[in-house]
Amino acid sequence: MNKPVYLDANASEPVRDSVISEMMKALQVTGNPSSVHAMGRRCYHMIEDARELIADHFGGDVQNCIFTSGGTEADILAIYGQKQGRSLWVGATEHPAISQIDLPKTVLPVTQEGIIDLEILEQKLKQEEMPPLVCLMLANSETGVLHPIEQAAKLCHEYGALLHVDAVQAAGRMPIHLGKLGADSLAISAHKMGGPKGVGALLLAAGNIRGAKPLDPVFVGGGQEQGRRGGTQALPVIVGMAEAVRVSYWQDRIPILAMRNTIETEAKKKGAIICGESAERLDNTSCIAFEGVAAQKQLMALDMAGFCVSTGSACSSGKVGKSPVLSAMGLEHLAGYSIRVSLPWNITIQEVDRFIEAYCRVIQS
């Protein structure tokens, strides 16, 4: 049996070879990074080297790069750590880590292209007495649509609001600079960049002159991460994350964009619709809807043909239903007929050609 063709990178990218190599080296290092003896100090310095690389890559301060167990924890830490009496506003197409958080929240509408409606955001900010904490994702995990974060940040700050950006899907696939975005915090995750699962980071905008920006911890413990996230740091995956950041930065993304465009061109010839097509999007992501063929049927048929795709966020794994993202975009009529094709860093044109043939057979059967 041929190995399945993996087209679900937005759920998790394949781990890069150099990441595995660096992690294997780190696994052989004994010691706790909080220990003061020589072996503990060695672990500590490896973590700090990784922190410096990651902070520098994303335009953050080393003191304000906090390691977490992944993107979900980074989002939760950003909300609980920065909310501090503020109301919570979230975009209508946010990841479940934010949209399903158990706190009162105001949902901000998006346009039919899936972009946050800046006019409504400004209207609401003008009417709010207490400036809120606003949460927007840089790139939508299902459609790849990019929010105009720089403009949103300017609006938020004009009215005293804070802006947290979930950059999990975008990190490693496009240039990101915390200062240029204007965000107050940024969540990233290693396994969406070809790194290991189980590690991410929250980056905070520059704090006061003494360095660390105030943040209420969710996990208290032994004072790790400057007291903002307790628990012994996981050295091997942190090292792996830094390597994934380093390698992804240098990857040529033009071939991936060309292959995505080929898939969309051929799908549209058969009558498919690309959701969010007119918006600026990630180069690897296509949300393809074909009315009349249920998403579940497409998913199962493609799986049997040897192609791994999905219908949306992997954090709803095991569930194949109507897409809340498309519903929020006013595309309710397409919400039960769409699949997500997200190309991994190691995709080949031969695999893309085989997928196009299989997809056309499925929707015409």
If one counts every other C-beta atom within 10 angstroms of the C-beta of residue 98, the result is: 23
Asked if 77 and 110 touch (Cβ cutoff 8 Å), the reply is no
Q: Angle, nearest 10°, between helix axes 235-250 and 38-57?
A: 30
Question: Each residue of 100-128: pLDDT tens digit?
Answer: 999 999 999 999 999 999 999 999 999 99
pLDDT band at 214 (very low <50, low <70, confident <90, very high): confident
Could you tell me if 264 and 277 are in contact, meaning their C-beta atoms sit under 8 angstroms apart?
yes
- 209 confidence band (pLDDT: 50, 70, 90): very low
Q: What is the mean pLDDT of residues 253-259?
A: 98
C-alpha span between 225 and 98 (Å, rounded): 23
Residue 1 has pLDDT above 90, yes or no: no
Percent of the chain past pLDDT 90, that is, above it, reads: 89
Q: Which of 358, 279, 237 is nearest to 110 (CA)?
A: 279
* Residue 139 to residues 71, 148, 169, Cα–Cα distance (Å): 13, 10, 6
Of 43, 308, 315, 360, the active-site residue reads 315
Average pLDDT rounded to a whole number, residues 220-230: 91
Are 74 and 65 in contact by the 8 Å Cβ rule? The answer is: no
Residue 319: per-residue pLDDT: 52
Does residue 313 have a pLDDT over 70?
no
Lowest mean pLDDT among 218-227, 249-258, 293-302: 218-227
Average pLDDT, the chain: 94
Confidence band of 314 (pLDDT split at 50, 70, 90): low
Interval 13-29 mean pLDDT: 98
Can you name the CATH fold of 17-249? Aspartate Aminotransferase; domain 2 (3.40.640)
Top-confidence residue, 317 or 243 = 243
Full-model pTM: 0.94
Quote the CA–CA distance of 178 and 310 in Å, as a whole number: 30
| Structure-block tokens of residue 195 | 């790194």
Active site residue 287: no
Mean pLDDT computed over 306-319: 71
Question: Taking the domains of the chain in order of start, what are their residue ranges?
Answer: 5-13+253-364, 17-249
Name every residue whose Cβ is closer than 8 Å to that of residue 202 and which is 6 or more positions away in sequence: 65, 66, 68, 74, 77, 78, 81, 185, 186, 187
353: left (phi over 0), alpha (psi -120 to 50) or beta: alpha
Token code pair at residue 2: 């041929």
> How many angstroms separate the CA atoms of 184 and 287, rounded?
30
**Domains 5-13+253-364 and 17-249 belong to one CATH topology:** no
Q: For 314, which DSSP code?
A: G
CATH number belonging to the domain at 5-13+253-364, selected among 3.40.50.620, 3.30.420.340, 3.90.1150.10, 3.40.1190.20: 3.90.1150.10
The candidate with the shortest Cα–Cα distance to 204, out of 162, 141, 155, 150, is 162
Question: What is the spatial distance between Cα 153 and Cα 163, in angstroms, rounded to a whole number?
Answer: 6
